[in-house]
Structure 1
Amino acid sequence: MSDHSLILGLESRLLNAWPSFDYQAYDGWILRLANGYTKRANSATPLMPGAALDEALLDYMSAHFIAANLRPTFRLNGLQAPEADALLAARHFKEIEPTHVLAAPVGRECETDPEVTISPKVSKQWVHEASEAYGGDKADETSLMGIVSRIRQKAAFATLNLDDRPVAWGLGVVERGYIGLYDIVVAPDLRGIGLGRRVVLSLMAWGCTEGAHTAYLQVREENEIARSLYGALGFGLAYRYTHRVMLGRSSP
């Protein structure tokens, strides 16, 4: 599989697994808006090899972000024409948050952790607990519920309980042989003892039962602890993406 076909295959699955509220298509680019909740759901992303970007298209898409009170953000995954990044740099769009997309083979061991419960439907409780554990900008239950309730692929909402206390959460979405792992989060007072690993392995086991052969996820390049964890679980780099954001506007 060529690099472009791998990127396109995973990017299209990501679009389905983490839906936005509004989509617009522009000459090989997909512009997505979701009230500012996560950059991947609020950015313009190339979805065609060699997707071009000129001054007029840049201005047009930027105007849609500004109208939604969002900072214009371009998520560059390697499918764009080289000139696109150069134009954004020339227009003083700052490069931020390089991110790795990692992938790993799903083993044939399909048994989930007995202390991890998996539901095919999202609940208000799952959204509340996961949002609370995240804190900060991601403690937005309304936006998280709005995104995950739009998932149309087969999904698994996982919760790890210790002594009847929910302590870790995660989301798995299966599509065409791949399981995407999202929102893996552990209660702040219990991080660093392997609970996130248990959720990841259980979601991969669930993916196995649904016919998935490969798992994928995204982690910021600066998050060396998470990258080390996933590396120990067999995840390797599939591709890298970064963001270009317009200067002079506050983050949403």
Structure 2
Amino acid sequence: MEFTIGGQLRVRITPADVGKRVSVRRVCETAPQGATFTDTVGVLTSWDDGVLSITPKSGESVHIPESALVAGKVVPAAPARRRGPAASFEELAPVCARAWQPVESEPLGDWLLRAARGFTRRANSVLPLGDPGVPLDEALGHVRQWYGERDLPAYIQTATGAEGTQELLCAELEERGWRREVTAEVRTAGLAPIGDRDADASRVRLSRDLDETWLSRYQRFETPGPHVLAVLRGGPSVWFASVPGDSPEAAPAAIGRCVVDGRWAGFMAVEVDPAQRRRGLASAVMTALAGKALEEGASAAWLQVETDNEGARALYEGMGFAVHHLYHHFWPA
């Protein structure tokens, strides 16, 4: 990260740059011996009373006194992408949302309130793709009331780390006492290389619907009621994959779900029997699903993986998936 001009560090940002992506260097009094400075890159979300607030892609704001600044500059709105299909956040966010359709929803301006009796936060949170049409505090009050009437916690799903994402909203939520509970990556890749992988997809069974056997491997709920089935079956074009277990009565050795939506194929619910991991079953499931998506005309792939799931992140990295942006769920602590 280069800040020097003629060998000198300079602060080239002002309060007028709030809302822009910046890179700053500051004195770090708590740094290890020999390390004097630390760098922060993110969106400048406020500059008040001598303190800067910067929200990096992690979604958690960093507060920096002006007196600690030694350098700063405005940087491009998003880092250059080196691999994966070109896609804007405005294109990809609705595609991801359509793969986890709620049982009921209600618009609030450009926000969408979604509920599915608590099954998966992605179908039980606000999708804030624009202006709510009312002042933020009024919108948040309506959100709390709407979810409270359904005996659900009020979550708002935000995104960071790409052009057009919601670092400003993250900072405003933090200022009002909302806290992050989950952070996950949205990763993208070309679809054809996944379909062409040297994986044994011959054991994989594909279906337009799921059954009790498939559900026995997908244990992300207490009781698979109608709301769970509605969410899993929802989407523009849905496929389910399974690798049979050792007996007809056994749970599948592996499962997966794919939602095809225009040029995009979303992969989710990829789970493998712990006793059969590291045998290529996850790759086989995704290869088989990718083949179906290619037949339907898709060319790009996406998936979501929580940042603390190191094993899955390593698998997807090896399959060519690169991070596009991060998303977070905030709730009023």
In the TM superposition, what whole-angstrom CA distance separates every residue of 1:198-247 from its partner, at most 9, and x where no partner exists? Answer: 21222112211211101100000111111110000010011111121122
Structure 1 partner of 2:320: 234
Distance 2:134 2:189 in 1: 31
Shift of 1:59: 0.7
Range moving further from structure 2, 50-59 or 115-124:
50-59
Q: Does 1:153 align with 2:245?
A: no
Structure 2 partner of 1:67: 149
Shift of 1:106: 1.0
Structure 1 partner of 2:130: 48
Q: Does 1:201 align with 2:271?
A: no
Shift of 1:47: 2.0
Shift of 1:74: 0.8
Q: Given the alignment, which residue of 209, 214, 225 partners 1:126? A: 214
Q: Residues 191 and 29 from structure 1, CA distance in 2 versus in 1: closer, same or farther, beyond 3 angstroms?
A: same
Contact 2:108–2:133 (Cα < 8 Å) also in 1: no
Distance 2:109 2:167 in 1: 15
Shift of 1:96: 2.2
Shift of 1:140: 3.3
- Opposite residue 172 of structure 1, the aligned amino acid is C
* Equivalences for residues 90-101 of structure 1 within 5 A: 90-101=175-186
Shift of 1:81: 5.3
Q: Given the alignment, which residue of 96, 103, 106 partners 2:191? A: 106
Q: Secondary structure at the match of 1:35?
A: coil
Shift of 1:189: 2.7
Q: Residues 122 and 35 from structure 1, CA distance in 2 versus in 1: closer, same or farther, beyond 3 angstroms?
A: same
Distance 1:162 1:212 in 2: 30
Range moving further from structure 2, 93-102 or 189-198:
189-198
Q: Given the alignment, which residue of 104, 109, 114 partners 1:32? A: 114
Structure 1 partner of 2:224: 141
Q: Residues 195 and 41 from structure 1, CA distance in 2 versus in 1: closer, same or farther, beyond 3 angstroms?
A: same
- Opposite residue 57 of structure 1, the aligned amino acid is A
Q: Secondary structure at the match of 1:171?
A: strand
Distance 1:184 1:31 in 2: 27
Alignment gaps of 5+ in structure 2: 1-76, 79-86
- Opposite residue 244 of structure 2, the aligned amino acid is N
- RMSD, aligned CA: 2.6
Distance 1:214 1:80 in 2: 21
Q: Secondary structure at the match of 1:211?
A: coil
* Identical positions, percent: 24
Structure 2 partner of 1:250: none
Range moving further from structure 2, 155-164 or 37-46:
155-164
Q: Secondary structure at the match of 1:89?
A: helix
Contact 1:35–1:42 (Cα < 8 Å) also in 2: yes
Higher relative contact order (CA closer than 8 Å, sequence separation 6+)? 1
Alignment gaps of 5+ in structure 1: 248-252
More helix, by proportion: 1
- Opposite residue 170 of structure 2, the aligned amino acid is D
Shift of 1:105: 0.3
Distance 1:82 1:184 in 2: 30
* Equivalences for residues 200-219 of structure 1 within 5 A: 200-219=286-305
Distance 1:193 1:246 in 2: 42
Contact 1:22–1:33 (Cα < 8 Å) also in 2: yes
Q: How many residues align?
A: 240
Distance 2:201 2:142 in 1: 49
- Opposite residue 237 of structure 2, the aligned amino acid is K
From the CA coordinates, give the structure whose radius of gyration is larger: 2
Distance 1:88 1:57 in 2: 12
TM-score of the aligned structures, taking structure 1 as reference length: 0.85
- Opposite residue 232 of structure 2, the aligned amino acid is V
Structure 1 partner of 2:89: 7
Structure 2 partner of 1:23: 105
TM-score of the aligned structures, taking structure 2 as reference length: 0.65
